[in-house]
Amino acid sequence: MRRATLGIIGGMGVQATGCFYSMLTRLQTVRAEQEYLDIIIYSKPSTPDRTAFITGQSIDSPLESLVLAATTLEAAGVACIAIPCVTSHFFYEELKRAVGIPVLNIPEETAGFVASRGYKRIGLLATDGTLAGGFFHIAFEKSGVETIVPQDSAQAYLMDIIYNIKRGEFVETEALDGMAAELRRSGAQTIVLGCTELNLLANGSPGYIDAMEVLARASLRVCL
C-alpha cells in the first residue's frame, strides 16, 4: 500500500522549519525508523517578507513563491501540505485554489483546538502581518473565542524578537514573559503562540498553546 507523504513549505523562517520537522518526529511513536512519516520539505527562505507586503511596506508579493512551492510539492506526490509560517496564511485561499490536495490551515486548526479546551478569551502573540490580515481573529470568532493582543509598544518589541530569531540572533527565553503576563492581566485565559518562531522561546512551557504544535498534530492526523 502506498504511504501518504507530507509536503512542507518551509524556510519562513529556517529555524522554525527545523523545529517543525523535529516536532513531527518527536510526536510519532514507532518501532523502527521505517515507520516514520515520509516528508518532503521545500525550504524557500527567498520568499518575500509576508508582513512587509501585508502591511504595505513592500510591493513584493510572496504569493508567486508560495504557489510555486505548493505546486512543486503536489507534482512530487505529497498527500497534503503544511506551512509552518502563520503569516503566509494570508494567502491561504489562493494557495488552496492552486493545488488539488489539502492545505492545512493553522488558524482554523488552532481555533478549533482552543475552543475544544473550553477557552473563551485568549491572548495572541503574532506578527503585524497576521494581526493586519485578521484571519486568526476570524477563525477564533467563528469558534466563539475572544482575542486579546499586545499594546502597540509591546507588539513592536514582539516584532523585534521575531525578526531577531529569523536572523539567527540570540533571544532570551524569558523575552515573552512580560507580554504574556500583561495579556493574562487583561483577561486572557491562555496565550496562543501565533508565530512559529516563538516556539523556540516557549517550547513546552505551560500556559501557552503553540500553533506550530497544533499544525504538527494535524499533519500527522491527516497523513497517518
Q: Could you give the residue numbers annotated as active site? A: 85, 195
Q: What is the dihedral of CA 84, 21, 221, 31, to 10 degrees?
A: 180
**Which residues, at least 6 apart from 177, have a Cβ–Cβ distance to it below 8 Å?**
none
- Provide the grid cell at 151: 499594546
What share of residues in the chain are helix, strand, coil (percent, to 5)? Answer: 55, 15, 35
DSSP string covering 200-218: HHHTT-TTEEEHHHHHHHH
Quick one: how far is CA 190 from the chain centroid? Answer: 17
Strand partners, 125: 193
Look at residues 159, 163, 166, 112 and name the one whose alpha carbon lies nearest to residue 139: 112
Are 73 and 81 a contacting pair, CB within 8 Å? yes
